[in-house]
């Protein structure tokens, strides 16, 4: 984002909350499917899933030493406090409103952290400071955990027709008077054309080899990759570089000839907007369906909290399930479900 050029953050952290999607392939290896660093969602499903497990499977759950996940909201709040650099900062959760598909999660996390859930019209900027309007008057805001995308954050900086954000918010941010989590612009890491370079970034910046592998990726903006993709569409999974939620994908082996032909035209019209990957043999998990117990494909999204001094991760994550037989699309927006994820302690060590 141009508004992020030349900015000096008090604590140089951009992705305070990350959701990293992992899969296990048929070769037994774990792969990073994609990174979610803009406004990663789903943590409320992880917490609610645990409550359901404890309620429906009390005997099974009680017989295992399952590490807890219910302290995530407190971990999140502690991380936001640490990133503010203050002992008792005023924190708010900024939501686009109840029509957003993740609004339940926004309200849930605000309630669990004991902080206000606010809309853009609840905040104002004056002299490069952000304030929340309350019945007792204005109060200064130190940290904004934002759950709306960059274009809607500030109508003076981004989309002028946005009524969801806060006018002059970016000016207050650039002045160092408020922390925005995650930082504007972090969505560049969600871009699927940036994804293939993460391994090189790790080698360049950390002088280390990646522990987890990336899925091999063809970039359609490259002539050779484009030629290969167009001739192997029936074998590949093709995604929009700016896509999310499982929308706009082509799963070649599951698509009809007409669907492949239509998607080919889209790629040829805008090669830069697409990447392609091999169709992976995602691992499966026994799942309750109408027919009984059946295997369904899954992935795992752990939630990573990055602070000034340490990186923390709750011992669990969001396991997403493709509920339709044979489907590889686990997104809830595409009919996917969720499962509780147990990290079991054995002889004093997590397994």
| Contact criterion met (CB below 8 Å) for 81 and 307 | no
**How far is residue 139's CA from residue 131's CA, in Å, rounded to a whole number?**
5
Regarding pTM above 0.85, the answer is: yes
Q: What is the pLDDT of residues 31-43, one digit of tens each?
A: 998 899 989 999 9
**How far is residue 209's CA from residue 198's CA, in Å, rounded to a whole number?**
11
| Contact criterion met (CB below 8 Å) for 69 and 316 | yes
Residue 282's alpha-carbon distances to 34, 59, 235, 315, in angstroms, are 14, 30, 15, 22
Query: HSE (CB half, 13 Å, CA atoms) of 331?
Result: 16
Q: What contacts 139, CB < 8 A, 6 or more positions away?
A: 90, 131, 132
The tens-digit pLDDT sequence of the chain (351 residues) is 889 998 887 778 899 999 999 999 888 889 998 899 989 999 999 999 999 999 998 999 888 899 999 999 999 999 999 999 899 999 999 999 999 988 999 999 999 999 999 999 999 999 999 999 999 999 999 999 999 999 999 999 999 999 999 999 999 999 999 999 999 999 888 888 899 999 999 999 999 999 998 999 999 999 999 999 999 999 999 998 876 656 678 888 888 999 999 999 999 999 999 999 988 888 999 998 888 999 998 999 999 999 998 999 999 999 999 888 877 777 776 678 899 999 998 776 655
CATH number of 216-278: 3.30.1490.270
Write b or e for each residue in 207-221: b if 16 or more Cβ atoms lie within 10 A of its Cβ, otherwise e.
eeeeeeebbebbbbe
Q: What is the pLDDT of residues 258-281, one digit of tens each?
A: 999 999 999 999 999 999 998 888
Q: DSSP assignment, residue 344?
A: B
Average pLDDT taken over every residue of the chain: 91
Q: In terms of Cα–Cα distance, which of 220, 191, 196, 227 is closest to 210?
A: 196
**How far is residue 256's CA from residue 234's CA, in Å, rounded to a whole number?**
9
Please tell me whether residue 231 adopts helix, strand or coil conformation: helix
| Contact criterion met (CB below 8 Å) for 229 and 267 | yes
User: CA-based Rg of the chain, rounded to a whole angstrom?
Assistant: 22
Q: In terms of Cα–Cα distance, which of 311, 234, 245, 319 is closest to 282?
A: 319
Q: Is it true that domain 71-181 has CATH number 3.40.50.11290? A: yes
Q: Where are the domains of the chain?
A: 71-181, 216-278
Q: What contacts 197, CB < 8 A, 6 or more positions away?
A: none
Q: What is the pLDDT of residues 18-61, one digit of tens each?
A: 999 999 988 888 999 889 998 999 999 999 999 999 999 899 98
């Amino acid at each position: 984002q141009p508004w992020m050029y030349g900015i000096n953050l008090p604590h140089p952290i951009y992705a305070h909350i990350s959701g990293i999607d992992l899969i296990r392939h048929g070769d037994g290896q774990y792969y990073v499917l994609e990174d979610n660093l803009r406004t990663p969602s789903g943590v409320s499903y992880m917490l609610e899933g645990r409550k359901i497990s404890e309620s429906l499977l009390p005997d099974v759950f009680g017989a295992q030493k399952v590490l807890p996940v219910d302290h995530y909201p407190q971990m999140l709040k502690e991380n936001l406090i640490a990133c503010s650099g203050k002992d008792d900062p005023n924190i708010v959760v900024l939501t686009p409103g109840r029509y957003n598909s993740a609004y339940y999660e926004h309200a849930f996390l605000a309630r669990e952290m004991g902080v206000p859930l606010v809309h853009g019209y609840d905040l104002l900027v004056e002299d490069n400071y952000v304030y929340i309007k309350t019945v007792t008057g204005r109060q200064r805001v130190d940290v904004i955990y934002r759950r709306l995308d960059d274009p809607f954050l500030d109508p003076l900086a981004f989309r002028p027709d946005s009524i969801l954000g806060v006018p002059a918010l970016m000016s207050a941010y650039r002045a160092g008077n408020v922390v925005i989590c995650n930082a504007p612009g972090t969505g560049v890491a969600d871009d699927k054309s940036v994804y293939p370079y993460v391994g090189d970034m790790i080698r360049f910046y950390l002088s280390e080899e990646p522990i987890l592998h990336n899925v091999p990726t063809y970039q359609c903006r490259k002539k050779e990759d484009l030629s290969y993709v167009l001739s192997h569409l029936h074998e590949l999974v093709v995604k929009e570089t700016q896509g999310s939620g499982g929308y706009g994908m082509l799963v070649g082996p599951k698509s009809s000839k007409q669907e492949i032909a239509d998607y080919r035209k889209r790629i040829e019209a805008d090669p830069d907007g697409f990447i392609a990957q091999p169709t992976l043999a995602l691992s499966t998990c026994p799942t309750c369906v109408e027919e009984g117990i059946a295997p369904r494909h899954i992935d795992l999204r752990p939630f990573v909290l990055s602070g000034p001094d340490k990186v923390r991760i709750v011992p669990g994550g969001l396991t997403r399930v493709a509920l339709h037989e044979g489907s590889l699309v686990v997104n809830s927006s595409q009919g996917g479900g969720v499962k509780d994820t147990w990290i079991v302690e054995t002889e004093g060590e997590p397994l």
